[in-house]
Chain A
């Protein structure tokens, strides 16, 4: 019977598990930011950290970079997704695009960024394919494309990765926006496809994807791994600089890092506020636009461009992964050869031991974390079903909080906090931190299917004398096998892709595929990066394949469950 007293407490426990590390991390940021850091022999409060931060000559530029890349990538990705949905949803082309983009969601950011860097560099694959026969280059041109000072390459990398994410979020929202009917009416009134959609469906869809858009904005402003691979270095973005200061042997620099982390936090909050104001402005302008009654002259052009861009985003990831594959088997490959002079297994042999170790570490973290997240999520949802403990709209914000706060604002603080209270870095704290990011995604992906389950089946089972637990374990969970496995795959992919949490909370000693791959980026050994990047991608993709395969096998003789 203890279990029944335990279940109602689960939602509270879940919130604690998720927000505890965040709050501890913020606490560990605020104290040193104001100069109070006893471990380094510093006692505050004072403003010395902010003072030295302001004295750092790279500050204006790195702040500008964070803000610019954040806004630019979010705006571009959102525009592509909205226009392509407006112009093409319900068509064959859209279905193809959807099928192309869905698996790309789980490609880790770092792997996608590597692939892109190989593609677009002046000596990259695209340049090689057209050299020298078309371009006349037998040496690559001296052009600053990757690591450019405006962060354009980095913005492109973020757009490419955020388009699949926002598209899937939009697809989920479309179902509840009565898109098809609105479109029929709009076109009956003579509106073009894109204009009609933007005027009628967009406001409803946007209201639903608002939080994911905020997540994208906050993430893009504070991302570290993509910025290290594609972003500028003279200076880097603020987040990368925070991580560098954290790694400095001089503990006093952590005070500066903490001050910078608070600055990063306020930048993100400021950006979210500006975005919110922008939403209002767009809403107001939109009303005027609707009132003017244009039927949409440029619709075909907008739809065409957006489809081209979305396809380009998908292609960039696919080609990027392909070029990783080629590099991982490459012998010597000089410019301007389109393919390596020879292919070899040597690279894979050389790295097999290290890769397998990293795979083990990655799985040892991702699997327990995902299981814990699943148990907590199912517990919360079941508590909601049995006791009506439903999250309010405000509560949803709690779920999004760890995703909205910049990681660089609280992860360095969490490391400092652990150092202060004497907790060792290592695998267990890393797992606890991964859970903070895995839980929201698992919850968001499982909540809707779980709630959509037909409760009348539960009533029938109860009538057949099944206990509430029996209903859960013998009826509901098996019937929801596929969404549960999909949620697990999402959780595993999120955990596999975690870079900063693993690096900082693991103290550099927990080496997963992602941390190894990003560490290799500094060495520039593309063969090694190819091997690790591909393994990292497979580790994230394989669970999705299993999530499709297992229910198909388990329910091969239960036709009604196959689509559940």
Chain B
């Protein structure tokens, strides 16, 4: 047994050595041909699912890579699976080849050495990525270091039905006043749903005089003091929420249905183009518009990461690279398709590619990049977990 253990220890690094060097693109594409990539991505949105299916058809055509979308209800499922595989000693060909990830899940996987890389900055299409203007090299304040590659930008916007609520709101204090004047016409997804938790963070970022304290990990010493204004705000807001806060929509998309049912007038979204897309799909009334707060709103990037034990790393890199291509990025930004923000730097593109982006009709309810303004930095992931847990205890198990 002892010998076996030593032998195993000696052999274990070998598969890692056998990985193709991401910088040797010809070798990557050659090995990728014929591979099947299981992309674990949240499957709750039809438009995203359609987009992933399209990516699959394109990488099959160009590179012979078969893409299978494993639809998750929560990204954490994929993290659990990789952890379980590592414990079970499945180090060479795990079930997951690529994960749509960011924030706490990324930070957990990176910390536990569960990710393959660095690879992102060696991919050919990295040259087009807007490293200066977009938060693609840090993820919720955690340095990315090439362990995940960006494919979409998200920023908080508020969606309002102008038929019932004509004017935008400038800050969270104005939202409080509006809710008091219009009880029952606003709600947010129930934390720990990520969008619901994002709403809590957005409140905190907006009402704190100095939000820079959120960039550092939570400390027990200051947590109560920093978050006290948030709980005071919510205590005042909750009785004025839809159903007086006795029920919440489970996800962000469920808010769209509430708006078109006339149940609420205001919702939060993490995708500036989603309102226009939803109008095109009859999921929102055409009177819907979006706005951001005066001080800006929280923004972050969506990434894809490759687990250390994927058996199709080359195929996954091909998909990750394709996701950063001008073709895929322009399609993702098309509000008829997804309406996601691009991660690319327009100045780095060829005239031809740039023309494709310029010709995109962003959609009636989508703000231009200039109107979106500054994206505020995400707090450190530890805040998100702690605040969500606290919310559940205070409001999620109402007596």
Interface: B140 (CB within 8 A): no
Contact of B261 among A148, A335, A350, A528 (CB under 8 A): A335
Contact of A234 among B80, B256, B257, B398 (CB under 8 A): B398
For A336, give the chain B residue with the smallest CB separation.
B262
Residues of A within 8 A of B76 (CB): 247-249
Residues of B within 8 A of A147 (CB): 247
| Interface-side segment among B81-89, B296-304, B314-322, B341-349 | B81-89
Q: Count the B residues whose beta carbon is within 8 Å of the partner chain — how many? A: 58
**With A233-B190, A519-B73, A524-B257 in contact, do A57 and B393 touch (Cβ < 8 Å)?**
yes
With a 10 A CB-CB cut-off, give which of A235, A251, A422, A508 has the most chain B CB atoms.
A508
> Are A234 and B53 in contact, with the CB atoms below 8 A?
no
B391: min CB distance to chain A, Å: 11
Q: How large is the interface on A (under 10, 10 to 19, 20 to 34, 35 or more residues)?
A: 35 or more
**With A249-B77, A335-B262, A524-B251 in contact, do A509 and B396 touch (Cβ < 8 Å)?**
no
Residues of A within 8 A of B393 (CB): 57
A-contact 0/1 string along B242-260, CB 8 Å cutoff: 1110111111011111101
> Are A509 and B95 in contact, with the CB atoms below 8 A?
yes
Residues of B within 8 A of A521 (CB): 250
A447 to B357 Cα, complex, angstroms: 67
| Interface-side segment among B9-17, B41-49, B207-215, B219-227 | B41-49
**With A233-B190, A235-B396 in contact, do A528 and B46 touch (Cβ < 8 Å)?**
yes
A118: min CB distance to chain B, Å: 10
Interface: A537 (CB within 8 A): no
Residues of A within 8 A of B72 (CB): 508
For B284, give the chain A residue with the smallest CB separation.
A332
For A232, give the chain B residue with the smallest CB separation.
B247
For A57, give the chain B residue with the smallest CB separation.
B397
Interface: B74 (CB within 8 A): yes
Contact of A233 among B49, B70, B248 (CB under 8 A): B248
> Are B247 and A234 in contact, with the CB atoms below 8 A?
yes
Interface: A354 (CB within 8 A): yes
> Are A519 and B247 in contact, with the CB atoms below 8 A?
no
> Are A249 and B83 in contact, with the CB atoms below 8 A?
yes
B281: min CB distance to chain A, Å: 8
Residues of A within 8 A of B105 (CB): 249
Interface: B126 (CB within 8 A): no
For B53, give the chain A residue with the smallest CB separation.
A353
For B77, give the chain A residue with the smallest CB separation.
A508
With a 10 A CB-CB cut-off, give which of B80, B95, B246 has the most chain A CB atoms.
B80
A55 to B241 Cα, complex, angstroms: 28
Interface: A458 (CB within 8 A): no
> Are B262 and A123 in contact, with the CB atoms below 8 A?
yes
A146 to B50 Cα, complex, angstroms: 30
> Are B262 and A523 in contact, with the CB atoms below 8 A?
no
Residues of B within 8 A of A332 (CB): 260, 282, 285-286
Residues of A within 8 A of B45 (CB): 523
For B104, give the chain A residue with the smallest CB separation.
A249
Residues of A within 8 A of B281 (CB): 346, 527
Interface: A351 (CB within 8 A): yes
> Are B247 and A148 in contact, with the CB atoms below 8 A?
yes
B389: min CB distance to chain A, Å: 11
Interface: A61 (CB within 8 A): yes
> Are A523 and B79 in contact, with the CB atoms below 8 A?
no
Residues of A within 8 A of B73 (CB): 247, 508, 519, 522
> Are B243 and A334 in contact, with the CB atoms below 8 A?
no
A344 to B105 Cα, complex, angstroms: 39
A248 to B399 Cα, complex, angstroms: 24
Residues of A within 8 A of B184 (CB): 142
Residues of B within 8 A of A424 (CB): 95
For B394, give the chain A residue with the smallest CB separation.
A57
Interface: B108 (CB within 8 A): yes
> Are A123 and B282 in contact, with the CB atoms below 8 A?
no
For B395, give the chain A residue with the smallest CB separation.
A234
Interface: A58 (CB within 8 A): yes
Contact of A525 among B50, B253, B397 (CB under 8 A): B253
A247 to B77 Cα, complex, angstroms: 6
Residues of A within 8 A of B84 (CB): 39, 251, 419
**Residues of B in contact with A (beta carbons under 8 Å apart):** 43-46, 49-50, 53, 70-74, 76-77, 79-81, 83-84, 87-88, 95, 105, 108, 164, 183-184, 190, 242-244, 246-251, 253-258, 260-263, 281-283, 285-286, 393, 395-399
26 A-B pairs with C-beta separation under 8 A: A56-B397, A57-B397, A139-B164, A139-B263, A144-B243, A144-B246, A148-B246, A233-B396, A234-B397, A235-B397, A249-B105, A332-B260, A334-B260, A334-B262, A335-B262, A350-B46, A519-B44, A520-B44, A522-B73, A523-B45, A524-B255, A524-B256, A524-B257, A525-B257, A525-B283, A527-B283
**Residues of A in contact with B (beta carbons under 8 Å apart):** 39, 56-58, 61, 121-123, 138-140, 142-144, 146-149, 232-235, 247-249, 251, 330-336, 344, 346, 350-351, 353-354, 419, 422, 424, 507-509, 511, 516, 519-528
> A249-B80, A334-B261 known; 6 other A-B pairs, CB under 8 Å?
A61-B399, A247-B76, A249-B83, A335-B263, A522-B250, A524-B255
